[in-house]
Structure 1
């Protein structure tokens, strides 16, 4: 996390000096073929191509406040949260490796993505990692699955929350307890007990990733404040966090960065430097076993998607089998197995939610859940209505895209 060696831009520098420094930084990050995207951009927008080198690489990424591997973690995390920037995400995943990052760290980052952005972002990221490892001839050794029975997940999540916030678990779960105790439980057990308590990343690397994802996603002020405080407790400095958010003006845009700075400023003012653990809960519940959740999730997955739970787990075996396991246990065993609404209603809701997000990472899951809705008994007309209902809230392009995808899947079904 230490400072780099390149100096920051000064106000009296020429554009040529900034461009040259930017090209050198671009070469370090991009490796072989580093300038191909810039050259392609120059064919249609030469001024923007120059700006792309001068400001991001010549002014910001050369600043000494963060080392390059940390900066690439911020960039990769922001692009994961974006959901529709796959070429840039792959470029900067490669860039992380080019500046000394480890393949294992990129794989571990997928677990952070599940907690902050959802499974679809992680699934997409794993696909890109496969491509990168193959192209770079990296013999990646898959992350071993966890060995415990899962019954201490709540206890572990509580311990994580107490260590990360002076207010303890109530800082995150308090507002949820009366409205949705189920969500409060999942936040503790899954987000903090399964995902964010993993040991594959340093605290500071994980904190930078989370802050970057939340900033890029936008409108996450409460969560962002919590994780900025956690970052300070884990040893990141205000200056390092300022550098990270400044960098996000490039990859998430100035509005997102400015909003994040407003949250950071308020957090810095309230921060008193205390790192004592938050108050312990009166009692810690025992979590349901992984075996029970996996059995239930496999049954739901088989019924709704005609897919075997073991096949889902195996599909991630080359990178991180626990991702597949968590899809079965958490997404299907915890969430989709609930019976308060019908399977048909649940699948129509999933279709609408995926369509509303409208990102590239949501396209394949939308196809999956359109088919699941049909399997659950939804008619073509009901799927159409669920998507048409989005027009007033998300506009025509988003719904046009969703209707097209749904239509392609429906057309594959026998009439």
Structure 2
């Protein structure tokens, strides 16, 4: 049945053409934007996921900048520490030359002073953007470690955490610790130390058939707290050979130090004094005098001091704790090197080995952290690329398919227009029924 009021064919053709035009507009939008999901109305779930991932990409790009800054800072410190190590090695050569009695030790000392000044200059200049990792002399907490932002960690529940790479400072300054700035605490007062040597008076290690021992326990650590072990002995005894008159067996804790760090520093200083006494013949090479460290699972460190066997080989030890001390530099012993005398030249030879090791350890620490930062930086770069690829897989348009679909829709549009034209002309045939 034909009707001049309702043209069903035209309505069908019009609906088809509208659908074709809608798909054509969508395809043209995908081609122009390059995205199948350009807004939340296209696919709300995929759009939301892509936006979260895009936010993470932006965050990782900022982290990459942070890692680059951190790597540059550590690289400066590493290079400076290696330079200082080389300069200390040069000083060692000068000290070795000073062991001869027929050399101009004053001239050698002048050369050492020049190298020492150069070390000070290098340590002072080893800063990047105002941060010097070769200086750590503050008594406040959280100054001995620098945190480099390294990652954003998104949990399954959507919460985001932050990860850091900790960079510990390694002080290579020459400043001398100022004990006068601190306040000595009473022995046995329950401070940072305990054990037999934390007593009101010196504790004797009396030579006997069995080597005697005494202990010092490092219970807690606070920056600016100094622990000094005084060594005394009567004239003619082994104690007199290395009486402590210059605070050589002492250590000032820095921020970031553990109980083990303090205990090992004290033990190393004590053993160095013993080695020097053995080298100059004051103590026999078979001497049992030594200090050893053990660390409990809780972190508490115990130093066990062992004495000498044999009657008359007596000496005494006493630990003194001082709070509020102004720390010296990590190479403070370099300031006391003086090769103008026989005793000074001989003592300097032992001291320089420890100083060189300090600089080497610092350079190694910085090198290790720098390698970790480089690895993390490369990982973040690859992760960012992967996230971008994932976002693209979710929202990017398949341009080949879109191009083919565009051509097909353009043909369909033309056919739809033609079909609508035919449908609209159908009522015209009704006029022929009324012509005579």
Same fold, TM-score > 0.5, yes or no = no
TM range (shorter): under 0.3
Calculate the TM-score normalised by the size of structure 2. 0.18
Q: Give TM-score scaled by structure 1 length.
A: 0.19
